Structure formats: structure tokens, C-alpha cells
Amino acid sequence: MNLVELTEFLIKSLVKDPDMVSVKQFEDEDDMIIIQVLVDNSDMGAVIGRGGNIANSIRTIIQASAYVNGNKRVKINIDSF
């Protein structure tokens, strides 16, 4: 499972409206992988969590998966529509 699929699976498991989730991957000039996550505004609380705990957990899981698969550093940006 690649990083985008894993991220999409984790995010869609948390939100009420999984059809409104969009996950895209980009690379910047420093060869860092950037994953852009867009969710519905009403689902932002479920994805971020109290104090950002859920978002930090998602970032940790994705970074660990990238490390195990020999990928570069990963940055995840979570935003709403």
C-alpha cells in the first residue's frame, strides 16, 4: 500500500462523509513528499482531534511507513473545503 492509499484509508475511517475526502501527493524541491488532505469542514474536528493528537498520530504512521519502505521524509497538510 503506498502512502496516498494508506493516508486515504486512515482519513476515510475517521470522517462521516468519506466521499468528500481528497488525498493528493506532491514533491517539493528538497525531495520531500507532501501529502495534501482535503476533508469537509464538518469533519475537521474528527481528523485533527483534541490538541491535534489524531493528526499527529496519522503523521507518525505515515512517516513510519515511508521509512520502512525506504522513502523520503513526508509532510502531511490537512485542510478543509
pLDDT of residue 39: 95
Q: 16 and 77 in contact (C-beta within 8 Å)?
A: no
CA distance 25 to 81: 17
Domains and CATH numbers, the chain: 3-80 (3.30.300.20)
Q: Does residue 1 register a pLDDT over 90? A: no
Q: Residue 25's Cα: distance from chain center in Å?
A: 10
**pLDDT at res. 41:** 93
Give residue-wise pLDDT tens across range 3-61: 999 999 999 999 999 999 999 999 887 878 999 999 999 999 999 999 999 999 999 99
Q: How far is CA 20 from CA 24, 65, 76, in A?
A: 13, 25, 18
Q: From CA 9, how far away is CA 19, in angstroms rounded? A: 12
